[in-house]
Amino acid sequence: MINADAFRSKSKNSPFDKRPVAGAVVMTVVDGVSSTRVEPCRNRLNSFSIFRPLWLHRQPPDRRFGRRHGREVVWRPILLGAIFKLTGSAPLTTIPMKGEYSKRDFARTARYHGIAFKMPDPFPFSGVQANRAYYWLDSTDPKAARGLAHALYDAAFSGKDIASPQAVIEIAGGLGINRAAVTAGIASPEAKERTRAESDAAAARNIFGSPYFVVDGEPFWGSDRLDQIEKWLETGGW
């Protein structure tokens, strides 16, 4: 058990204050999905993020923060739909007035970063199968799981299906992952339970959206907080 005080936030009113912590939390997601894991090491940047258009710049935290600041970034996907049921929220694109603006903003942000982008149809879409595939692979090969996550993200926002099991299997197969093994992995009780458990763990820690990061106990929500995270890592917080 790690001393919880080592992971307390430096600021007041943090949702992680006065909460028993055994380590550091971490994560990333496959559309509409996000999650967590407790790590016994302070030298980690904890990232919660979902495969959503808000991350169009495609600078994963392990590249932007991990390598530059010597942090290990652990990705953990969760089912954001389950979180929305708890918060009473909804996907941004489905909210009256905000929805149309958000779609316009997604496309504009993609152009700003010079990234090809096609809005998935339908959107939002289910990330359950992709999440299960991620966790099945992560249990034996975390590096390969990240590669799959990137491939799923690229496929989804190129207008391709990643909601169906067969679509996920084909994308994994394109990376050289055995299709039969992926098929069995997605359907396995272990992958299903892990997917549920990670979402439950995120909700228990008040993770309510994505992308969501926890850095040494300090929570940051939204891609517009990336610069603050950078500064936090450089200075040790404020």
Q: What is the pLDDT of residues 114-127, one digit of tens each?
A: 888 898 888 888 99
User: What's the pLDDT at 197?
Assistant: 92
Q: HSE on the CB side for 180, CA within 13 Å?
A: 0
Closest alpha carbon to 62 in 36, 37, 27, 33:
27
- CA 58-174-51 angle, to 5 degrees, is 30
**Domain edges within the chain:** 4-235
76 pLDDT band, cuts 50/70/90, is: confident
Q: What's the token pair of residue 160?
A: 């391709």
**Segment 120-148, tens digit of pLDDT:** 888 888 999 999 999 999 999 999 998 99
Q: Is the pLDDT of residue 106 over 60?
A: yes
Most confident of the following: 69-78, 192-201, 215-224 = 192-201
Among the CATH numbers 2.60.40.10, 3.40.390.10, 3.40.30.10, 3.20.20.70, which is that of 4-235? 3.40.30.10
Report the alpha-carbon distance of residue 232 to residue 218 in Å, rounded.
9
Q: What is the mean pLDDT of residues 52-63?
A: 58
SS3 state at 48: strand
Q: Tell me the percentage of the chain whose pLDDT exceeds 90.
A: 38
Q: Which residue has the higher pLDDT, 133 or 113?
A: 133
Ramachandran angles phi, psi of 71, nearest 5°:
-105, 145
Q: What is the DSSP string of 58-81?
A: ---HIIIIIHHHT-EEEE----HH
Q: For the residues 160-167, what does the mean pLDDT come to?
A: 94
Q: Which residue did the predictor score with more confidence, 185 or 154?
A: 185
